[in-house]
Amino acid sequence: MSETDQPSVPLSTLLANPSLGLSQVAGPDEDRLISTVGTTEVEDPAPYVVGGELLLTAGVRLPREAHGIDTYVSRVVAAGVAALGFGVAPVHLEIPAELVTACDRYGLPLLRLPPHTPFVAVGQATYAAIAEVRNRELRRISKAQSALASAAARADALQAVLQQLSAHVEAWSVLFDGQGNELLSAGRRPVAPGPQLARDLAVRTVARATRSHPKDRPPPPTAAAHHHEGLHLTVHTLPGMDGATAPLALGQIADTAPTLADRQVTSMATVLLSLLTSPSHALGTDTRSVGALVQLMLGATPAEVAPALVAAVDPAGDHWIVVHGRHVPPQSTTTPPSGEVAARLAALATALGTPYLHIDGSSLRALIPAVPGTRPTAPPQAAALGWTLGFSAAVPVTELAGADTQAERALERALAREAPAVVHQTDAHTLHALVAPAEARELARARFAPLSQTSTPGAGALLVTLRTWLTFHGTWDRTAAALDIHRNTVRHRLARVAELLDVDLRDPDTRMELWFALQWLPDDAF
């Protein structure tokens, strides 16, 4: 397709048609696109063409002198004619040499039509070829739309849609948030500076599309394009479900300019991505989930409703992985705009492979359906979005409370290590395996029982402060920041812990002993 979206056919297709007998005698070898065929015998056809034509003439009114022919060719080139076809006989036995010279000078392909080829036949062949191209593009669009629709029904819908889009338009496809962070991407990643250029274009386009504008003026464009050293960059903002523009953008980088079919496929993908990042979809409000919620509110247990949730996501799974997360932006501590929460939620859901997420400010909790023995892995998209994660082991639904504790402790270790994620490990070669679980719990209860003697701030606050302080290897400032309290409050609480437990927290052996006891202490101890 041409850049004007007019259905067209390559000039080489007409030259290869044996029934026409066409041959190129002048002009460049580049494969021009022909959108229509016109016939003219006027001295200046420029006012009567629209561009992209194969203009046919028998030279009835062609000037006789070289200067006039030169002017004739310059005018049709300026009017946008794609190629000139000259029919020999009966007016001219051969193409005038001056016309050949002029077409070479102005870069206009010149075709020779033999005497037995009617102009009408050239038009019929051209329109038949254009119809075939159009039918082929329609079949391609239909196939792509079917693939995109199927991808949107998958559990990892966002990633699946991007992958299908990338495959069908042969471009790197990426989903950006309003700050230009890459949420998800698919396809071969271009070399630098392509991704950065796409990011900058997305940020500018989103900012322009979301900026308020006077009511008496048309809204700003929601798409943009840029070319850089053979790369074709395009950006489309995702329309919000309320008619406004959400702060999300779909970026694409390809080696060739997008065709009309490419743009139609991209348009459908944009609509699907908008639906998939809407709040209702991001929160997983499908009928199974809603039904499970109703059952829970009416007294059902998690074990009774879990099969319905698992079947909706992973029919083979009967275990769950609990995830705890903390949002720690790499370069900024600002909270994302409210319009991006649903998009970030949907991106995380796709990355983690589950719709069961809850974000409360900077905290995240999630449930991932799994099969026994599954070892979770942290998706790179989570770290790119500023999330630090802690994963539990895969457990049956009856052990979710313990898994919740595992995930919380794993997150604490991840924050202390400044690692993107930590996965809970159950290893037979640790000290935990040397002590019976029941005895270990009773030992931990007894060890921390003196903390119940304090009323303010309470045993729970003292335990949380001690655990966080040990997690951060005795760092006062990091403990205070993690708990959002003053460092003097941390010192006061730990002094109270040392007094009640009659220990010296400066002793590394004491710290180690308390750390193990904390791992065994049940959540309902106090």
Give the residue ranges of DSSP H helices in 6-118: 11-15, 66-78, 97-106
**Strand 110-113's sheet: what is its strand order?**
23-26, 110-113, 83-87, 53-57, 36-39
The one-digit pLDDT tens for each residue of the chain (526 residues) are 434 456 789 999 999 999 999 999 999 988 899 999 999 999 999 999 999 999 999 999 999 899 999 999 999 999 999 999 999 988 899 999 999 999 999 999 999 999 999 999 999 999 999 998 888 888 888 898 888 888 887 767 888 899 999 999 999 999 988 788 888 889 999 998 999 999 999 888 888 877 665 655 555 567 888 988 889 999 998 865 444 445 788 999 999 888 888 888 998 888 888 777 765 454 444 556 666 666 676 777 777 777 766 655 555 557 889 999 888 765 444 445 444 555 666 667 767 777 788 877 788 888 888 888 778 877 777 777 778 899 998 888 888 888 888 888 888 888 877 788 888 876 544 555 555 567 777 877 888 888 888 878 888 888 888 888 888 888 888 888 888 889 899 899 898 888 888 888 888 888 888 888 887 777 666 6
C-beta separation of 144 from 173 below 8 A: no
Which residues are paired to 369 by β-bridges?
320
C-beta separation of 86 from 59 below 8 A: yes
User: DSSP for 460-492?
Assistant: HHHHHHHHHHHHTTT-HHHHHHHHTS-HHHHHH
Tokens for 150? 């199927």
Its pTM surpasses 0.85: no
User: DSSP for 314-329?
Assistant: -TT--EEEEEEEEE--
End-to-end CA distance of the chain: 72
C-beta separation of 55 from 40 below 8 A: yes
The one-letter code for the residue type at 232 is H
Q: For residue 193, what pLDDT is reported?
A: 92
Q: For residue 241, what pLDDT is reported?
A: 42
> How many whole angstroms separate alpha carbon 72 and alpha carbon 459?
96
**Residue 230 φ/ψ region, left for φ over 0, alpha for ψ in the -120 to 50 degree band, beta for the rest:** left
Q: For residue 346, what pLDDT is reported?
A: 66
> How many whole angstroms separate alpha carbon 260 and alpha carbon 109?
25
- 63-72 long-range contacts, CB within 8 A, separation 24+: 65/98, 66/98, 66/101, 66/102, 69/96, 69/98, 69/99, 69/102, 70/98, 70/102, 70/105, 72/43, 72/44, 72/102
Burial of 367 (0-12, 13-18, 19+ CB in 10 A): buried
Buried b (16+ CB within 10 A) or exposed e, 115-153: eebebeebbebbeebbeebbeebeebbeebbebbeebbe
Give the residue ranges of DSSP H helices in 8-58: 11-15
Distant-in-sequence, close-in-space partners of 216: CB < 8 Å, separation ≥ 6: none
Q: For residue 108, what pLDDT is reported?
A: 96
Tokens for 275? 């639906």
Q: For residue 415, what pLDDT is reported?
A: 83
